[in-house]
């Protein structure tokens, strides 16, 4: 996630996965277009019945459904908006299937901290992400774990924006 807007009244973290979305869409759209073109060339001369053509289209849809699920899993826009004027912390997530928004009072935000976890049970390497500390819960700034420097940058920027002296 990157800082999209940073003023005294508004801090916005934004993640728009353009590259992943574009590549996955191309890899889904090209085979689908080729299949439709092949189906049309078979149907037009009358070599195949309408029932068989419908079965081909349904088979193609069943074949493509795992790719749509992969796009859903990998292509998610995420925004974290800290708005001093409105007094809110807004967490937004948009996927190809819908939109979710979670709004919390800015006064409930106590700061940001870093969450760390092992990459695997046998690994000594850690991955990290920044968390928003609300009164009764925590919420991730970014959905994915990554490098320590990015998590530190996010947590320190949020804490500085809130005016807390705490290091992440």
Render pLDDT for 8-57 as a digit per residue (tens, 0 to 9).
Answer: 889 999 877 767 667 777 777 777 777 777 766 666 666 666 677 777 77
Specify the pLDDT at position 161. 93
pTM of the predicted structure, to 2 decimals: 0.66
Whether 56 is covered by a domain: the verdict is: yes
Lookup result for tokens 């934004």: 14
Beta sheet of 98-105, edge-to-edge order: 2-6, 10-15, 77-83, 88-95, 98-105
Two structure tokens written together for 16: 């728009």
Please check whether residues 117 and 90 belong to one and the same domain.
yes
Whether 146 is covered by a domain: the verdict is: yes
Low-confidence ranges of the chain (pLDDT < 70): 18, 20-21, 39-50, 72-73, 164-168
Last residue of a domain, one of 38, 58, 74: 74
Chain length of the chain: 168
Whether 167 is covered by a domain: the verdict is: no
Please check whether residues 105 and 152 belong to one and the same domain.
yes
Angstrom distance (rounded) from CA 29 to CA 34: 8
Please check whether residues 35 and 101 belong to one and the same domain.
no
Please check whether residues 25 and 10 belong to one and the same domain.
no
How many domains, the chain?
Answer: 2
Beta strands 111-118 and 98-105, pairing class: unpaired
């Amino acid at each position: 996630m990157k800082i999209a807007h940073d003023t005294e009244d508004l801090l916005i973290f934004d993640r728009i996965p353009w590259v992943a979305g574009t590549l996955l869409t191309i890899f889904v759209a090209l085979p689908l277009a080729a299949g439709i073109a092949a189906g049309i060339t078979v149907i037009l001369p009358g070599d195949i019945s309408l029932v068989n053509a419908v079965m081909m289209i349904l088979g193609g849809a069943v074949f493509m459904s795992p790719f749509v699920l992969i796009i859903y899993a990998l292509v998610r826009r995420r925004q974290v908006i800290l708005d001093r004027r409105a007094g809110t912390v807004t967490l937004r997530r948009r996927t190809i299937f819908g939109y979710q928004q979670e709004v919390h009072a800015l006064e409930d935000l106590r700061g940001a901290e870093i969450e760390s976890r092992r990459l695997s049970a046998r690994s000594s390497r850690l991955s990290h992400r920044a968390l928003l500390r609300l009164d009764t819960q925590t919420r991730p700034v970014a959905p994915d774990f990554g490098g320590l420097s990015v998590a530190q940058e996010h947590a320190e920027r949020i804490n500085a924006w809130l005016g807390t002296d705490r290091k992440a």
